[in-house]
Structure 1
Amino acid sequence: MKEPLISVIVLTYNQEDTIARTLDSVLAQYCSAPFEVVVGDDCSTDGTRHICEAYAKQHPDTIRLMPATANKGVVDNYYDCFEACRGEYIADCAGDDFWTDKYKLEKEWKVLAANANVTVVHTNWNRYYEDTKREVANKETPFASPITRGSLMLESIITQTTAPVIHLCTAMYRAKVLRDFYNTNRALLRNKEFGCEDLQIAFVLAHQGDVAYLPETTLDYSVGHTSVSCLPDSAQQFRFVQRTASLSWLLASHFNLDTPRTRAFFALKSYELLMHAFRCHNTALRSEALEYANAWRVALGKKARCVMWVTKCPLMWRAALLLRKGLVGVKGAMHPFK
Structure 2
Amino acid sequence: MNLISVLIITYNQERFIRQAIDSVLAQETTFPVEILVGDDFSTDSTRAIIQQYERDYPGRVIGVLHPRNMGKNGGINFLETLKHAKGRYYALMDGDDYWTDNQKLQRQVEFLDAHPECSMVFHNALITYEDGSPPHTLNGADMKAVYTAADLIGEEDHDIWFMATSSTMYRNTIKEYPAWFSDSVSGDIPRLLLYAKQGNIGYLPEVMSVYRKNNNGTSFTDKWDDIVFLRNRFAMYSNINRELDYAFDKSYRKKLASIVRLMIKSRQYRNKFGGRLRFLAKYVRMAKPSMEELKVLLRDEVLPRKWVGRYSKVAIKSHRVLNGEAS
Quick check: TM above 0.5?
yes
Tell me which residue corresponds to 1:26. 24
Is contact 1:157–1:165 with CA below 8 Å preserved after alignment? no
Whole-Å separation in 1 of the counterparts to 2:285 and 2:52: 48
Of residues 222-231 and 134-143 in structure 1, the stretch that sits farther from structure 2 once superposed is 134-143
Structure 2: how far apart are the matches of 1:292 and 1:224?
A: 38
Partner of 1:137 in structure 2?
137
Shifted more, 69-78 versus 293-302: the winner is 293-302
Distance 2:108 2:277 in 1: 43
Q: How many corresponding residue pairs?
A: 303
Structure 2 runs not aligned, ≥5 long: 309-327
Q: Which residue of 2 aligns with 1:36?
A: 34
2:223 and 2:229 in contact (8 A); partners too: no
Pairing partner for 1:281 from 249, 270, 287: 270
Say which SS state the counterpart of residue 297 (structure 1) adopts.
helix
Q: Does 1:50 align with 2:40?
A: no
Counterpart of 1:328 in structure 2 is: none
Query: Is the alpha carbon distance of 1:270 and 1:174 closer, same or farther for their aligned partners in structure 2, counting shifts above 3 Å?
Result: same
Q: CA separation in 1, counterparts of 2:16 and 2:211?
A: 12
Identity of aligned residues (%): 24
Are 2:139 and 2:162, in contact at CA under 8 Å, matched by a contact in 1?
Answer: no
Q: Distance in 1 between matches of 2:281 and 2:38?
A: 33
- d(CA) in 2 for partners of 1:58 and 1:107? 27
**Separation in structure 2 between the aligned mates of residue 298 and residue 286 of structure 1, nearest angstrom:** 18
Q: Is the 8 A contact 1:11 1:78 kept in 2?
A: yes
Q: Residue 240 in 1 paired to residue 232 in 2? A: no
**Partner residue in 2 for 1:109:** 109
Is 1:123 aligned to 2:112, yes or no? no
d(CA) in 1 for partners of 2:201, 2:124: 14
Instruction: Classify 1:187/1:284 alpha carbon distance in 2 versus 1 (closer, same or farther; 3 Å).
Output: farther
Alpha carbons 2:126, 2:136 under 8 Å: kept: yes
Counterpart for residue 12 of structure 1: 10
Please, what TM-score do these two structures have when normalized by structure 2? Answer: 0.80
Deviations 1:96-154 (A, max 9, x none): 11111111100000111122222111111121112327421113677522xx3x5xx22
TM-score, normalised via structure 1 length: 0.77
The CA RMSD over aligned residues, in Å, is 3.3
TM-aligned CA distance change 1:61 to 1:296, over 3 Å:
farther
Note closer, same or farther for the CA distance 1:263–1:8 as it changes in structure 2 (3 Å cut): same
Q: What letter corresponds to residue 123 of structure 2 in structure 1?
A: T
Change (3 A) 1:113 1:260: same
Q: Which residue of 144, 147, 156 corresponds with 2:151?
A: 156
- Match 1:187 to one of 179, 187, 204: 179
Structure 1 unaligned regions, length at least 5: 319-338
**Aligned residue in 1 for 2:319:** none
Q: Shift in Å at residue 248 of structure 1?
A: 1.7
Query: Which AA in structure 2 matches 1:158?
Result: I
Alpha-carbon distance between aligned partners in 1 of 2:274 and 2:112, rounded to the nearest angstrom:
45
Larger Rg over CA atoms: 2
Determine if contact 2:126/2:211 at 8 Å carries over to the other structure: yes
Q: Residue by residue, what CA displacement relative to the aligned partner does 1:25-46 show, whole Å, maximum 9, x if unpaired?
A: 1221111111111111111111
Which of 189, 200, 214 is the equivalent residue of 2:190? 200
Say if 2:292 is the partner of 1:297: no
* Residue 220 (structure 1) shift: 1.2
Task: Output the amino acid matched with 1:84.
Answer: H
Q: What is the CA–CA distance in structure 1 between the aligned matches of 2:222 and 2:301, rounded to whole Å?
A: 23
